[in-house]
A and B are shown apart, each in its own frame.
Chain A
Amino acid sequence: MQLTTPTETPLVQVAATAPTVVQPGEEVVVTIAVEARQPVELLALQWEAPEVVRLVPDQRLDLPVSLRAGERFEARQVFLTDPQQEGFGEMHATLALRGEGETARTAASWTAWISVFEPMKAPDDEPLNDRGRRRLIEVVNARARNGHIFLADSVAFFDDFLHILISERLAAVLAREFGFADEGLPLDRAAYLRVILGLLSFYGIEKLELIAEEECEESDDRFDPDEAREVAYEINL
């Protein structure tokens, strides 16, 4: 999916649009639209990206640039991926700014997720294969927000973050199997997008992690009363 990540500071509004998933060898194109809320100078754009993507060097950005209130600046940044490499991670962008007449720098920063996976079609008549399951576990466990996205709409999550296409028939089977309808799931599209952007989360859940079922030992199911163990008995009345 193409996801637009909005960011606001007192100086600018930024909308950065990028895919959430591509296939190995495919370019990741990020378009950035900046609108000044006050007179501002855009100084530099810096990226921190996972190894699976690399910024095309020497891309022209025409920075620094000064904007008056209401003026826009648009840029395009391209990242390359290796045809042989799958992976995922967060792409952090930082746009350095300086308000008119000010000496101190501020910044607008945002984070987007990128997955680089070969597209797969989920089998309708058999369980998810090991390759797909490994993607699922690794991506969900990579950061707390991904577990919430998976809960919000797991079928869309497979497509948008794992590059695994779920047929409508399988989606219906999964919805029935997991009792999604009884739980008000999946969330509607607007709520799903808010979860992706980190604006909405499932109350009470700090992190959802997935464990391969064969690695889920029964002995790990025990309750641990770690704070209720006594120290040496001593009484002095």
Chain B
Amino acid sequence: MATWTADFAVATEFSRPLLNLILDRFLDELRRQNLLLFSTRLGRRGTLSAELNDLTIEDLEDPPPVGGVVTDVQAQARLRLRLLGFIRADTTMLVRLDDVEVDLSKTPAGLPKGVVLRVTPTTSATITFPTARGLGGWFLNRIVGPVASFGVWLAFRLIRKVEVPVLEIAQEIFSALGLRFASGSPLLTAQKQVAPASLLLASDFNLTNPTLGNPNSLGAFLPAQTNAGAAIHERVLTAAVQTAMSKGWVPTRFRVGKWKIYLNRIGVSFEPGKIEAFGSLKAKRGKCWCRVKARITFRAAVMPRVIDTNTPQPKIAFRYDADLNAHVSTSGMLVVLGVIMFAPVFMAFTIGASMLINLVLNQFLPFKTSWSQGGAHLTVEAQSVHFSGFVPLSMTFALQLSGEGTYRLDRFRQFQLPGGARIEVDYTPESVAVQQDELRLAARLK
């Protein structure tokens, strides 16, 4: 089976149509602010103004060696030209730029925050005026068009303001988790073996046992009907879970009934169809007749699937991987398991979702965890410590082996790009998938 992360800690994939959608939304905002309108005087002979209407990424390619993406971009602008008092043109101008570099824009701290299209000195430009006819068309196409330097200047003025703001939030999550990029990360590449072409971003972090991504193995991993996906390697999730616990966001000491539970160790693994947590804990109570304490080596897994995708309230439903003919449990042990499993399950879904959409998880972190028991479910709630306006994220765990837990996705149905443009998020039954070592979340942004 093809790997999704190519052994990187995390990988994201954005299809070319999605990048164009985000560009489109971003241009809408710039247009509202009149930032797409450019005008200049042509000496004393006339004036020229142009307003960018549309910008389309036509291709994505990463020529060898891996790690540098180029694209062909087409910009459509409305051109108004007044020249020598009698030449007037009001027409559509197409600027086709070949081999535009796709690069990362960075925060003031040097962390990547978006994908930016960069016009370089080697970029070639072709300008056409497809709607101009007759003498005007001849003049524009033969006289104005070949003034390539002007075209590049104009395109540069237009395009250099455009970035695809898809990364900042995700990277800030990992900063909040105390994970720093390993050398060579993040890697930006592209693939066009699987249509549509897509942009891929993969990162490794400095962990105790760091993953070592293989750039040449990175490929498309989006399931059908989706245009954005995030894949997480189990090692980075283990580190994230352990960080959350060592920082106290998720408690490692808690009381269940008469027992005090001390979590000593936890690891996470992704198995086909399952998120598994394993580790050890101590269970103690006050004085007991036996005069002993218990150490439990635990291993439990939940099997997630996305349901209700055609309703306003899609959910991730998950059940324990118990064999009901061979397993029995007690409600107390299921409370312990629910509290323990919360960290890996919540962190896996929330980090994955935040890499796809602007969840503002960086504002949500750090969080504190509480839980309550009602009926056949344990409800575990994560609430932002500093930002009281953030509605808590909650997850339910079944207190019966045959029961089902849920995580509501309706909180992740819509987000705003910087500048205010809104993006809707649709889920499909393939939006969550788990294979050996990796978890993938994918959505259709529209």
A and B are partners in one complex rather than unrelated chains: yes
* Known contacts A230-B206, A232-B206: A128-B289 contact under CB 8 Å: yes
Residues of A near B337 (CB, < 8 A) are 203-204
A230 contacts B208, C-beta separation under 8 Å: yes
A11-57 interface with B by 8 A CB criterion: none
Closest chain A residue to B184 by CB distance? A236
B83 at the interface (CB under 8 A from A): no
C-alpha gap A207/B278 in the complex (Å): 12
Query: How distant is B418 from chain A, measured CB to nearest CB, in Å?
Result: 21
Instruction: Pick out which of these stretches binds chain A: B189-197, B219-227, B236-244.
Output: B236-244
B291 contacts A234, C-beta separation under 8 Å: no
B235 at the interface (CB under 8 A from A): yes
C-alpha gap A122/B181 in the complex (Å): 60
Instruction: Pick out which of these stretches binds chain B: A65-73, A85-93, A107-115, A175-183.
Output: A175-183
C-alpha gap A233/B210 in the complex (Å): 12
Query: How distant is B99 from chain A, measured CB to nearest CB, in Å?
Result: 23
Chain A contributes a number of interface residues (CB within 8 A of B) equal to 52
A202 contacts B330, C-beta separation under 8 Å: yes
Query: How distant is A204 from chain B, measured CB to nearest CB, in Å?
Result: 4
C-alpha gap A230/B207 in the complex (Å): 5
Interface of B is mostly: mixed
B298 contacts A183, C-beta separation under 8 Å: no
Residues of B near A182 (CB, < 8 A) are 257, 331-332
Query: How distant is A160 from chain B, measured CB to nearest CB, in Å?
Result: 16
- Which of A183, A225, A232, A237 touches B106 (beta carbons < 8 Å)? A237
B347-364 interface with A by 8 A CB criterion: none
- Which of A187, A203, A208 touches B327 (beta carbons < 8 Å)? A203
Residues of B near A231 (CB, < 8 A) are 206-208, 210
A225 contacts B180, C-beta separation under 8 Å: no
A-contacting residues of B (Cβ < 8 Å)? 104, 106, 110-112, 178-185, 206-210, 235, 238-240, 242-243, 245-246, 252-253, 257-258, 262-265, 267, 278, 282, 284, 287-300, 320, 322, 326-334, 336-337, 401
What are the 3 A-B residue pairs with the smallest beta carbon separation, nearest first? Answer: A225-B242, A183-B330, A228-B242
Task: Give 7 A-B pairs besides A228-B243, A231-B210 with Cβ atoms closer than 8 angstroms.
Answer: A177-B289, A200-B326, A209-B297, A212-B292, A228-B207, A228-B240, A231-B208
Give 8 pairs: A residue, B residue, CB < 8 Å, sorted on A: A152-B328, A202-B328, A203-B320, A206-B297, A223-B264, A228-B246, A231-B206, A231-B207
